[in-house]
């Protein structure tokens, strides 16, 4: 077992329209856009990052808006729901706010003693807000929401699996401990984690494998403090038989990726160097930032990429 992983780092999904995506996360959900950049492999596509004030690992939802891509078909082998932590007693406010903004698919329930409100994103993305009493993270409050209501970061993700066995074993190796199993869902937690330290495994033996598209989670990233710890994790995973990519520089963190036995793509990302690497804290997410290998495309991309505001 390894002990370098502290919970979630970011969750990356796909969307069909950049402007709708930006409005949903900054206005509807009240997160801060902490980076506006492009996809390393397809620089004509944005990579948008939303989180708390500085994009603290465990708060960062990221998107690739591929213009007009088809919707994904939900199924197994993917993240089913991405859950955000909100203050105790705030779900009534959220229900009113989201229904006032015309959101559909809202459903309130309770799991593992926590109240939740499920809803769908612009592309059918599966989201929920969870009331959490003890969450020490400060939310972003210079946007559309105040501290009594604002999202404080991820609570968890749920993985939809045909069989939980091998994924449960992998997460245990990654430092997660099973907390409880209820109604076909196993909850796992990293002790001493970063508040985004929960994963739920949902077993759905008769559900077909998902087809990815708009509204699907592309991968889920776990946080390690630095590059040294990342190398330790990479070595341990490889020794256990996982095929892990080399370390890739993603400008705001270093990343390694591997496919899990249940089908979900996992990434391990470093907390360093973070989003203030190339922008002042006061202006995070405002300017179009380009990876150095795409810098020569700036004037082309500025014309091609859809404006997010206005």
Q: Rule CB under 5 A: which residues touch Zn ion?
A: 12, 221, 267
Residue 152 token pair: 């404080």
Query: Contact at 8 Å (CB) between 128 and 198?
Result: no
Residue 76 token pair: 């197994």
Side-chain-facing half-sphere of 180: CA atoms under 13 Å = 5
Closest approach, Cβ 270 to Zn ion, in A, equals 11
Closest approach, Cβ 267 to Zn ion, in A, equals 5
Closest approach, Cβ 275 to Zn ion, in A, equals 13
Side-chain-facing half-sphere of 212: CA atoms under 13 Å = 16
* CB of 195 or CB of 267, closer to Zn ion: 267
Which residue has 């769908």 as its token pair?
120
Closest approach, Cβ 60 to Zn ion, in A, equals 9
Quote the CA–CA distance of 120 and 128 in Å, as a whole number.
8
Closest approach, Cβ 269 to Zn ion, in A, equals 6
| CA-wise closest residue to 63 among 34, 86, 83 | 34
Residue 4 token pair: 């370098």
* CB of 84 or CB of 119, closer to Zn ion: 84
Query: Contact at 8 Å (CB) between 152 and 52?
Result: yes
Q: Are strands 60-65 and 8-15 parallel, antiparallel or unpaired?
A: parallel
């Amino acid at each position: 077992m390894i002990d370098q992983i502290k919970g979630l780092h970011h969750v990356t999904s796909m969307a069909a329209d950049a402007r709708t995506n930006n409005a949903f996360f900054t206005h509807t959900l009240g997160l801060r856009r902490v980076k506006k950049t492009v996809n390393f492999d397809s620089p004509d596509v944005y990579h948008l990052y939303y989180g708390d004030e500085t994009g603290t690992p465990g708060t960062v939802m990221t998107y690739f808006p591929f213009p007009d891509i088809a919707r994904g078909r939900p199924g197994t082998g993917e993240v089913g729901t991405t859950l955000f932590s909100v203050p105790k007693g705030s779900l009534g406010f959220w229900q009113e706010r989201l229904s006032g903004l015309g959101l559909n698919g809202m459903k309130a329930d309770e799991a593992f003693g926590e109240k939740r409100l499920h809803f769908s994103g612009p592309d059918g993305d599966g989201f929920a807000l969870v009331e959490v009493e003890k969450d020490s993270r400060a939310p972003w409050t210079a946007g559309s929401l105040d501290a009594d209501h604002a999202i404080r970061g991820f609570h968890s993700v749920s993985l939809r699996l045909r069989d939980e066995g091998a994924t449960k074993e992998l997460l245990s190796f990654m430092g997660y401990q099973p907390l409880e199993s209820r109604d076909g869902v196993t909850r796992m937690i990293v002790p001493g984690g970063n508040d985004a330290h929960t994963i739920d495994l949902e077993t759905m033996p008769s559900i077909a494998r998902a087809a990815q598209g708009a509204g699907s989670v592309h991968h889920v990233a776990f946080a390690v403090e630095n590059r040294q710890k990342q190398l330790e994790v990479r070595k341990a995973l490889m020794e256990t038989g996982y095929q892990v990519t080399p370390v890739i520089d993603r400008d705001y963190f270093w990343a390694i990726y591997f496919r899990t036995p249940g089908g979900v793509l996992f990434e391990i990302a470093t907390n360093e160097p973070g989003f203030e690497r190339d922008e002042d804290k006061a202006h995070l997410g405002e300017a179009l930032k380009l990876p150095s290998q795409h810098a020569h495309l700036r004037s082309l991309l500025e014309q091609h990429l859809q404006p997010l505001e206005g």
